Structure 1
């Protein structure tokens, strides 16, 4: 007898209730399995960054990105991220130096103020030097230090587990399980919860890993770069008015050679050092224009895209690729 079109017909499908319950249970188990796998990789990422010092944490993040590329060259975004995160570490060190200088001046002045006589305090020439510019630089550096550290850890906690899940289970399961990741939001370390929701399955993530799976590495890098810059770092860092003002002030002072003592060139050095110079230097600078704005997503994405293309060109060069790989190896194994 030919079965009817009604799947709940008790005559044509006498066991439809049992079969529906079994299918529902299978779907629930599959969803839970997705959640458990995401939780596993998320906890691994949290273990890597489980250190209080942002500079040391940055070294661990750099090493994890670098090792991810060394293990699988399809993850070219991770190789570029190793250099970019290393550059964040350079920014942290520079900010820490400015903060330390400001603190030393302030502490020396406070100690003098507590131990000096009332007569000595009447004369400004007898007090230790505590310049207004250095104090202002110190306060700005504290903000930069805080934002760089927050962006560095948050981006890693977002993107590293994505790569690990895809590498372990492949594209089909990755796409099927991606929406379930957001269900972990209440039980993960996520420092930017006030500005970015955890685990959002953005189109850039899906397009990025689909491109990687198809062998289109450059497109994968572009999509993941758009995800990191526009979906994570823009709302978490660059939309902060104070931070945006500080990066614009830095660019203005550096481009016009204003002797602030704190302004630095914004560049991505594709080596394991902080900076490189020379006509053939393996680096990409943001801009030489004083009014260029790193907080503007379009200007920043253009910079990131140039850096990604330069990185790709170096990896295709028969000689330069070995030097770049050696730099990534050194980042993966810091002394």
Structure 2
């Protein structure tokens, strides 16, 4: 039987390499969505994680565009240009480079290095959450709680405690007399996994963000559960108000602000959506799109 490292290796073999940032993010998002669709009454954390990962994917796509000119230079598609942006434009036109290739090159020149660094930090956080919790979902799906207990390390105590709660909730859901208690246990397990992610995994990454990185991350935190765009789900900016966000008074990078929004806005909305899940519903269609079904 695999060890934890074995489960991690197994799951990583199905992911694109780290340098294929957009493809890797989509694969992570698809895994989360697929786990939820497999057992929507149980894997509520994974369903929410799919939407969060999809939002992070917007920033990752921008990071890949900002990296494209450097990769073009490395591949010999263009020669590096020096000087001002206008000088760079002249150099690239002189090299016979098309406008389609010039545009991302100029974007790269105009953007600050810090912006790209912030987006790469957000990408690393997305990878770290999946690495921390993804293997546990796979082990539980294929071997149940006993397999997870066999593989878990002391450092993963929070994950094991959450899955024990999840497993007990699943058992109680099977009995009419304890269905309500089981439903609440699954919700509590979801909260436990989310709290571990938010309080343990994310803070070191959030602490590295610049002011502009914090603002970008904050403005990007809306959840499109139904395919209606920003109006389709909870939003940090709507919850605290745009003036507070733009002034920096409230930020998703602040752990207290982040958990307040999650607890009071995001989780109630997600639990309501998850409770109403049905095949063919807007939520089901959104998740199937994210899963690539």
Structure 1 length as normaliser, TM-score? Answer: 0.63
Trace 1:22-41 onto structure 2 (pairs within 5 A): 36-41=2-7
Distance, in Å, in 2 between the alignment partners of 1:58 and 1:141 is: 19
Per the alignment, residue 67 of structure 1 pairs with 34
Per the alignment, residue 211 of structure 2 pairs with 245
Name the CA shift for 1:112/1:77 in 2 (closer, same or farther; >3 Å): same
Distance, in Å, in 2 between the alignment partners of 1:111 and 1:137 is: 15
State the superposition RMSD in angstroms. 3.6
Distance, in Å, in 2 between the alignment partners of 1:148 and 1:47 is: 22
Distance, in Å, in 2 between the alignment partners of 1:332 and 1:114 is: 40
Distance, in Å, in 2 between the alignment partners of 1:293 and 1:101 is: 31
Per the alignment, residue 187 of structure 1 pairs with none
Q: Answer yes or no: is 1:222 the counterpart of 2:191.
A: yes
Name the CA shift for 1:43/1:173 in 2 (closer, same or farther; >3 Å): closer
Per the alignment, residue 299 of structure 1 pairs with 257
Q: Is the 8 A contact 2:227 2:282 kept in 1?
A: no
Q: Is the 8 A contact 1:314 1:321 kept in 2?
A: no
| Greater percentage in helix | 2
Distance, in Å, in 1 between the alignment partners of 2:279 and 2:140 is: 29
Q: Name the count of aligned residue pairs.
A: 249
Name the CA shift for 1:106/1:208 in 2 (closer, same or farther; >3 Å): farther
Q: Deviations over 1:27-54 (max 9, x none)?
A: xxxxxx5xx3323311122112232311
The DSSP-based 3-state class of the residue aligned with 2:235 is strand
Q: What is the CA-CA distance between 1:307 and the residue it aligns to? A: 1.7
Q: Is the 8 A contact 2:221 2:236 kept in 1?
A: yes
**Structure 2 counterpart of 1:76, from 44, 53, 72:** 44
Per the alignment, residue 284 of structure 1 pairs with 235
Q: Deviations over 1:60-91 (max 9, x none)?
A: 11111111111122111001111000000012
Distance, in Å, in 2 between the alignment partners of 1:169 and 1:72 is: 15
Name the CA shift for 1:318/1:330 in 2 (closer, same or farther; >3 Å): closer
Q: What is the CA-CA distance between 1:300 and the residue it aligns to? A: 1.2
Per the alignment, residue 16 of structure 2 pairs with 50
Name the CA shift for 1:328/1:113 in 2 (closer, same or farther; >3 Å): closer
Q: Is the 8 A contact 1:64 1:332 kept in 2?
A: yes
Q: Deviations over 1:183-241 (max 9, x none)?
A: xxxxxxxxxxxxxxxxx224x31331122112111111111111112211212x1121x
| Larger gyration radius, structure 1 or structure 2 | 1
Distance, in Å, in 2 between the alignment partners of 1:170 and 1:42 is: 16
The DSSP-based 3-state class of the residue aligned with 2:230 is coil
Q: What is the CA-CA distance between 1:244 and the residue it aligns to? A: 4.4
Name the CA shift for 1:271/1:59 in 2 (closer, same or farther; >3 Å): farther
Alignment gaps of 5+ in structure 1:
1-32, 117-132, 181-199, 255-263
Q: Give the structure, 1 or 2, with the largest relative contact order (CA under 8 Å, sep 6 or more).
A: 2
Structure 2 length as normaliser, TM-score? Answer: 0.71
Per the alignment, residue 202 of structure 2 pairs with 233
Q: After superposing the two structures, state which structure 1 stretch, 87-96 or 97-106, moved more.
A: 97-106
Q: What is the CA-CA distance between 1:94 and the residue it aligns to? A: 3.7
Distance, in Å, in 1 between the alignment partners of 2:113 and 2:149 is: 44
Distance, in Å, in 2 between the alignment partners of 1:318 and 1:83 is: 15
Distance, in Å, in 2 between the alignment partners of 1:272 and 1:178 is: 37
Q: After superposing the two structures, state which structure 1 stretch, 75-84 or 97-106, moved more.
A: 97-106
Q: Is the 8 A contact 1:208 1:223 kept in 2?
A: yes
